[in-house]
Structure 1
Amino acid sequence: MKTICNIIPALFIFLSLVSCKKIKPLGSLYFLDGNEIVYRYESSGPGVPKLPWDNKYKTVNADKDTFVPLQWPGYAKDKHHFFYRGDVIRNIDYATFEITDDVKTDYGSIAIVKDQYHVYKFREPWSIIEGADPKTYRIADNLKGNGNWFWYKDNRNYFVGDTIISVDYDTFKSIDEDSRFYIDKDNIYWLKSAYKNTSLEKIPAPGLLNSQIVYSNRVLQTPNALYYVTKKESFTKIPIEDLSSLKFFPPDNIYMMVDRQIYCEGALLTGVDFATFSVYQYPGNSGYTAYAKDKNKVYYRNEILEGADPKSVRLADRYMEDETYRWIPDLGSASVIIRKTAKETTTR
């Protein structure tokens, strides 16, 4: 017991000394640690770490008297160098290097990084954006719609993310302000957007530009076909024989009727009675769901709810239930249905 009593005060003193270590924040994750400038490249969690000794720092080889953190996380400068995440950004022209044109995205703010010779990647400022003209490179504010924060242009080319793309410069534009479809005089494109994998996909449909195009969420409609963008962002073509038979079901056009057949997310839903098909609404008519039914079956997206009677099953919050069973979608995998008795713990 005496040993434990001696350890506790010693541990308290140690933790007090560690937690009281004076590290002065300068901004952009840079700190003054005594006479050294350091960069915090890892912490115990987002924001202020719970355990100060879990922080990991590296020394920054900077001139302390002229060191200035910049407003963009990781960026700083002194009288000799610019820095990113604690490292010197080499192979740039210091006198003309600048960061301009902030844009807020779903992944945080980004900006244009350039000098008189090159444009550089915002999160990799040591890497050149090939083909970009630093004198005219700017945000492509003429392109609207979801993902427009990825668009840049200079006087010759468009860029999606940090990559030059091959389109007709003079005619390239977005189809709709709320879409990720784009068009030029030759092709129609879909912006496949992700944090580090943004690209422009050409729709494989020769002659499509000669047809009337109606945008509807992830669907392009022409008189002869629908082009549906699947969850994996590939294109599915659905031919149309009778344009008057076409019907979309909210939400997000998960379900569609084409030539008396029902499609779910671009794939044919077999065995459906199209004459009695309808989509469930949330209680109180607060919006449509991904649940649907016909006179024989109940569906969640492209899955049949085994044993569910469309006459007696009811929608309760985010799941379906009757007097015996409950069907709950696995939101991590939209095609998986969980079945259980109402009185038991949910099982897969």
Structure 2
Amino acid sequence: MKKIIFILFLAFYCMGLGCSPAFYTYVTEGKEVYYGISGYKEGLVKLEKANADKFVIINPYFGKDNKNVYYQGGIIKDSDPATFRFLGGVSTLIGSTGYSKDKKNVYYLGNIITGADSASFTILDKVEGYGKDNKNVYFMGEKLDYADSVSFKTIGNDYTADKNAVYYKSEKLTGADPAGYTLNGHYLLSSGSVFYGKEKTGYDMNTFKVMEEFFDGNTCWNGYVYAMVKDKNGVYVRDEKIQGIDPETFKAVGAGLYEDKNYYYAGIEKLNINKKNSTLFTLESAGQIIVKDDSNVYSLGDKIENLKEKYGIDPKSFELYAVVVSLKIFKDKNNFYVNDWLYLKKTDIVPVKNSLVYIDNDMIILKSKNKIAVIDRFGTEYSEIKGVDVETYAFVKGNDYLDKIAEMEGYGTFIDKNNIYKRNPFDKHFTTVSKKISPQEYGNLKEYIIAGEAEEKRLESLKAK
């Protein structure tokens, strides 16, 4: 047993070093059953009484054979494997643990809960660690003497209630009405008051609203830290009123962007944007919003970026150019930009006359004086244009003759007035093929060049969004 304890200590120690826990579990090898860290053979502890032929792994904590039920490698005394049911109720980094029962007993982890009724016992959702039977309520396996089993329920975020009171982590909330309450994030509203944890706040209940909750993503549990809230009197972060915001019109726009009747805010940080002349663009694939006026361009999501400073974007000419497979392509007078599923990125394509070569629902092809960009669901690919006649450069789709020559059946072929080009799928460059185009052939192929329709298709893509 000491070896098992050491293994578990080592596993939790490894978890403390980061958010990739050492995965300990049951391992069967031939006629033997072991418990320990998977892949750490020297640390596996043999379960001497286990029957490997009948052994069933329930989860990393529990296992059973035809004679015994095991918790973390140890036998649960007086358990009945035939009727044993794992119930759960507590989450950990490597899976669920908590309550279980058989025809005789109720267990928390590997211990019998004395006096608990197996037939009526059930776990409660919304708040972890709670279970009840027809007589008592339990938290983490301990009986709660204050709770009424028949009426007891979990509310969420550590709030619970029965017919007598509302509770926060077993402490009674003085002034809260068990017959009427509302959970709003980590706040509970009842009897004209707003409670935060066990404390009654001074917020106005009738106008109170949780705007956003913030979690610590640097912890293994991604734990709740604080919230942005508002009522008729103001907007607050960590209970501190933020000056200058109009609470009545303050609302979320999305991706961390807020607005009131006067300004835009990244959270509570006022943006240097003229709201009257502003434009919002939503990048669905990246969960971001781009907001601009004639002086600035910002991108907001999991971080705030001033795109004017980052890329030298010209705000006045910055506009949405096209939409392809939920990707949004932007341009200003200097460059094209694409959100490439994550963040807005600057391409190497400088706008020129007739930059648009091709567009459909799946891809867009753009050109500048010496670059080609093919933008599709797989990202943006660039190639140098060597020896290409820029004025007649085009993309042809639906011509079997060209597809056969370029060996790009069904994909489409690139041409200019002199040559046929193909796109090498391995090095992602465009190369000429041996077949040259005569002036007569080029004239015959022009009907397949959809460049004349491309502008209409580009405008249609904008209307769809």
TM above 0.5, yes or no, is yes
Distance across 2 between alignment mates of 1:31 and 1:60? 10
Match of 1:156 in 2: 164
CA contact (8 A) 1:249 1:279 kept: no
Any residues of structure 2 matched to 1:118-197 within 5 Å, and which?
Answer: 119-121=137-139, 124-125=140-141, 127-129=142-144, 132-135=146-149, 138-139=152-153, 147=156, 151-160=159-168, 162-170=169-177, 173-174=180-181, 181-185=187-191, 187-189=193-195
Q: Tell me the SS of whatever aligns to 1:295.
A: coil
Residue 76 of structure 2 corresponds to which residue in structure 1? 60
Residue from 232, 257, 263 that aligns with 1:254: 257
Match of 2:101 in 1: 76
Partner Cα distance (1:102, 1:320) in 2: 49
**Greater C-alpha radius of gyration:** 2
**Which residue identity is paired with 1:83?**
Y
Mapped partners of 1:277, 1:216: distance in 2: 26
Structure 1 equivalent of residue 53 of structure 2? 22
Deviation of 1:340 (Å): 5.7
Q: 1:172 Cα deviation (Å)? A: 7.7
Structure 2 residue matching 1:68: 3-state secondary structure? coil
The Cα offsets for residues 210-261 of structure 1, whole Å up to 9 and x where unpaired, read as xx5164754755444234x6xxxx34534568778x3535237731125x23
Tell me the residue number matched to 2:241. 237
Shift of 1:75: 0.8
| Aligned partners of 1:326 and 1:341 also within 8 Å | yes
Shift of 1:159: 2.6
| Structure-2 residue corresponding to 1:4 | none
CA shift digits 1:256-277 (9 cap, x unpaired)? 125x2322223333x2222223
Q: Give the aligned partner of residue 292 of structure 2.
A: 293
AA partner of residue 68 (structure 1):
T
CA RMSD of aligned residues (A): 4.8
SS at match of 2:87: coil
Q: How many equivalent pairs are there? A: 268
- Per-residue CA deviation, residues 61-86 of structure 1 (Å, 9 max, x unaligned), is 2255x86313514512464x53333x
**Structure 1 residues 189, 242: closer, same or farther in 2, change over 3 A?**
same
Check the 8 A contact 2:279/2:292 in 1, yes or no: yes
**Deviations, residues 121-155 of structure 1 (Å, cap 9, x unaligned):** 1xx21x344x6324455116xx6xxx48x542124
Q: CA deviation at 1:304?
A: 1.4
Instruction: Provide the rounded CA distance (Å) in 1 between the counterparts of 2:163 and 2:232.
Output: 36
- C-alpha distance in 2, partners of 1:171/1:16? 57
Q: Does 1:88 align with 2:117?
A: no
Give unmatched runs, 5+ long, in structure 1.
Answer: 1-13, 42-56, 191-198, 331-336
- Contact preservation (8 Å) 1:279, 1:288: no
Distance 1:325 1:319 in 2: 8
For 2:286 and 2:258, the matched residues in 1 are separated by 15
Hey, what's the Cα distance between the residues in 2 that align with 1:242 and 1:120?
A: 46
Gaps of 5+ in 2: 1-27, 34-50, 89-98, 213-227, 349-372, 374-379, 382-465
Q: What displacement does 1:168 show?
A: 1.0
1:213 is aligned to 2:207: yes
- How far did 1:158 drift? 1.4
Identity of aligned residues (%): 14
1:297-312 equivalent positions in 2, closer than 5 A: 297-301=296-300, 302-305=304-307, 306=310, 307-310=312-315, 311-312=317-318
Q: Which deviations, in whole Å up to 9, do the C-alpha atoms of 1:177-228 show, x marking residues without a partner?
A: x7665323463235xxxxxxxx4675454xx35xx5164754755444234x
Tell me which moved more, 218-227 or 273-282. 218-227
The 8 Å contact of residues 215 and 221 in structure 1, kept in 2 or not, is answered as yes
- Does residue 112 (structure 1) correspond to residue 131 (structure 2)? The answer is yes
Contact (CA 8 Å) 1:253, 1:265: kept in 2 or not? yes
Q: Secondary structure of the residue that 2:290 maps to in structure 1?
A: strand
Q: Secondary structure at the match of 1:36?
A: coil
Match for 2:253: what amino acid? P
Find the residue that maps to 1:275 and give its secondary structure.
helix
Taking structure 1 as the reference length, the TM-score comes to 0.56
Q: 2:121 corresponds to which residue?
A: 99
